[in-house]
Amino acid sequence: MSPELRNCSICGRLFGYQQGRTVCSRCREQEEEQYMKVRRYVRDHPGATVFEVAEETGVDEELILQFLREGRLQSKGFVEVLQCQRCGAHIDSGNYCANCLRELDSQIRGVISPARSKPAAPEKRASRDRMHIKDQS
Ligand SMILES: [Zn+2]
Ligand SMILES: [Zn+2]
C-alpha cells in the first residue's frame, strides 16, 4: 500500500512516485518557480531565444527546452527553437510550416495516386534539345 519510492532525478532524494513525475516535490517546486520565471520573461520579451532567456533568467537551457517539449511554454516566443524541418521557416507549432505542409501533402497525394504524366516526356525533350546533346554524356 505504501507508494513506490523513487530517487529524484535532480537531487537524488527518495520520494513517493506519482505518475509522470521523475523529480521530488521539492525539486518540482523549484522547477515550477523557474518555469514561472521563464514564462514571465518570454511574455515580456516575445521573440526571445532560448539562449537569451536562459541567460536572463538563470534557468538552465535544457530545462527551458524541456518546458517547450512538454508544451508548457508557448513556443511563439522561441523563434530559434521551432523551425520548419524542410525550409527552416519559423513556425509556432508542429514540424513544418504551412507552405511545406501543403507541398508535402500534395507530394504524398501524388505518390498515392501516381501521376503518370510526370516524367516530362524525355523523347520529346531530347529531340528539342538536340543541338546541345554533345555537351551531355
Ligand atoms: Zn529532488
Ligand atoms: Zn517550410
Q: What is the pLDDT of residues 50-108, one digit of tens each?
A: 888 999 999 998 888 888 877 788 665 554 466 788 888 777 777 888 899 999 888 87
Judged against a pLDDT cut of 50, whether residue 133 lies above it is answered with yes
Specify whether the CB–CB gap between 85 and 96 falls below 8 A: yes
Bridge partners for 6 per DSSP: 15
Worst-scoring range by mean pLDDT, 19-23, 34-38, 97-101?
A: 19-23
pTM of the model: 0.49
Whether the CB-CB separation of 83 and 89 falls below 8 Å is answered with: yes
Tell me the CA–centroid distance for residue 27 and ligand 1, in Å: 4
pLDDT at 33: 94
The total of structural domains in the chain comes to: 1
Does the pLDDT at position 129 exceed 80?
A: no
14-16 vs 5-7, strand pairing mode: antiparallel
Q: Is the pLDDT of residue 36 over 90?
A: yes
Smallest-distance ligand from the CA of 82: 2
Query: Looking at per-residue confidence, does 76 or 12 come out higher?
Result: 12
Ligand 1 centroid distance, CA of 13 (Å)? 5
Across 8-17, 62-71, 74-83, 117-126, least confident range: 117-126
Closest alpha carbon to 74 in 52, 108, 95, 48: 48
Is residue 77 a part of any domain in this protein? no
36 vs 31: CA distance, rounded Å = 9
Domain residues for the domain of 95 are 83-115
Q: Does a structural domain hold residue 24?
A: no
Residue 109 within a domain: yes
Is residue 49 within 8 A of residue 78, CB to CB? The reply is: yes
How far, in Å, from the CA of 102 to the mean position of ligand 2?
9
The residue assigned the cell 525533350 is 125
| pLDDT winner (highest mean) among 4-8, 114-118, 126-130 | 4-8
Distance 9 CA to ligand 1 centre (A): 7
Query: Would residue 11 count as lying in a domain?
Result: no
